[in-house]
């Protein structure tokens, strides 16, 4: 399934003194196979953009097509879009409201008329996908869970709708490193094994470098860069001008490669750096 944005503009409070132009002329095609990292300074338009992907927001002008359906269509079109493109908001745990984890995850499928026996299966599968043990957690109140677990319940609720595209707005914000790594690990599996297209909004270059195969950089309501991580991180100066960095490990390896030309300068992860440093130090016993 493909998502296409054509000349999308979005203005908050149009026509009154508080008018804000949040998106300007966005042309973008998201392919089913993508794992997109969406990055940009606060206020650059990331949240506004992702809420267009499932028709929650509709463009002030321009159009958004999801699997060929226009988000401006009413009726069944928009229902299908909401189902196919799952959106996990920032701090999604604030939207958990049912008495039990089970009921919370079942809420969406119930709403679209999925039969009871299939709902149970969907809840079980969704919980498994985000590493929550069904038997021990299903009857708990979401409020008894840890921050990371709550967030995974919220993600499971979206997965239970069987989306083809999963959009997450800063899903790791405020989590400890372990909670963060767990969620990122599950996203990787969803993309690789379930062929779910992922759009991940993040302010961490480290996170995005590890996972995304395509990075979009936003600035003042526009997409100013679009490419593979290695291409994007070559533009260190441009990113810096926008108040964005490159992963620390990339920075360190760039510095080392200036002194040792045999070392690659386009390293994105600690694992890659390790391999390069082994080469430099003769192959053995450095760590």
Give the binding site for ligand ADP (CB under 6 A).
12-13, 20, 22, 40, 42-48
Residue 40 interacts with, from Mg ion, ligand ADP, none (CB under 5-8 Å by kind): ligand ADP
- x/- mask, Mg ion, residues 41-80, rule CB under 5 A, reads -----xx---------------------------------
- Shortest separation between residue 280's beta carbon and ligand ADP, angstroms: 39
Residue 100, number of CB atoms within 10 A of its CB: 14
Interface region with Mg ion, contact rule CB under 5 A, candidates 17-25, 38-46, 92-100, 279-287: 38-46
Cα separation, 208 vs 38, in Å, equals: 8
The smaller minimum CB distance to Mg ion, of residues 47 and 257, is found at: 47
By CB under 5 A, tell whether 222 contacts Mg ion: no
Residues facing residue 165 across a β-bridge? 85, 197
The smaller minimum CB distance to ligand ADP, of residues 3 and 223, is found at: 223
Stretch (H or E) spanning 148: helix 147-159
- Shortest separation between residue 15's beta carbon and ligand ADP, angstroms: 13
Residue 45 interacts with, from ligand ADP, Mg ion, none (CB under 5-8 Å by kind): ligand ADP
Angle of helix 270-280 relative to helix 248-259, nearest 10 degrees, comes to 20
Evaluate whether 153 touches 101 at the Cβ level (below 8 Å). yes
Residue 154 interacts with, from Mg ion, ligand ADP, none (CB under 5-8 Å by kind): none
What would the two tokens of residue 191 be? 């993309």
Cα separation, 188 vs 211, in Å, equals: 7
The smaller minimum CB distance to ligand ADP, of residues 13 and 76, is found at: 13
Return contacts of 55-59, CB within 8 angstroms, 24+ apart. Answer: 55/81, 55/82, 55/85, 56/82, 56/87, 57/10, 59/5, 59/8, 59/9, 59/10, 59/23
Q: Which of residues 225-244 bind Mg ion (CB under 5 A)?
A: none
- Shortest separation between residue 44's beta carbon and Mg ion, angstroms: 8
* 3-class DSSP assignment, residue 248: helix
Residue 44 interacts with, from ligand ADP, Mg ion, none (CB under 5-8 Å by kind): ligand ADP
Would you tell me which residues interact with Mg ion (CB under 5 A)? 46-47
């Amino acid at each position: 399934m493909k998502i296409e944005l054509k000349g999308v503009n979005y203005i908050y409070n149009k026509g009154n003194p508080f008018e804000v132009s949040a998106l300007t002329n966005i042309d973008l095609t998201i392919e089913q196979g993508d794992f997109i990292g969406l990055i940009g300074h606060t206020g650059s338009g990331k949240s506004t953009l992702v809420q267009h992907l499932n028709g929650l927001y509709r463009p002030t002008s321009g159009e958004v097509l999801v699997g060929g359906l226009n988000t401006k269509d009413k009726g069944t079109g928009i229902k299908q879009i909401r189902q196919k493109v799952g959106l996990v908001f920032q701090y999604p745990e604030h939207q958990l409201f049912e008495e039990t984890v089970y009921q919370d995850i079942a809420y969406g499928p119930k709403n679209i008329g999925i039969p009871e026996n299939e709902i149970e299966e969907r809840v079980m599968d969704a919980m498994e996908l985000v590493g929550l043990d069904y038997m021990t957690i299903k009857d708990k109140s979401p409020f008894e869970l840890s921050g990371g677990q709550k967030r995974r319940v919220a993600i499971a609720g979206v997965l239970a709708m069987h989306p083809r595209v999963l959009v997450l707005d800063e899903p790791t914000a405020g989590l400890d490193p372990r909670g963060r790594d767990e969620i990122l690990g599950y996203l990787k599996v969803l993309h690789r094994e379930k062929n779910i297209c992922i759009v991940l909004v993040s302010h961490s270059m480290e996170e995005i470098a590890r996972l995304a195969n395509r990075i979009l950089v936003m600035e003042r309501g526009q997409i100013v860069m679009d490419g593979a991580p290695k291409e994007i991180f070559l533009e260190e100066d441009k990113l810096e001008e926008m108040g964005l960095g490159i992963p620390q490990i990339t920075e360190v390896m760039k510095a080392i490669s200036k002194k040792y030309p045999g070392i690659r300068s386009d390293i994105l992860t600690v694992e890659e750096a390790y391999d390069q440093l082994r080469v430099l130090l003769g192959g053995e016993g450095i760590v």
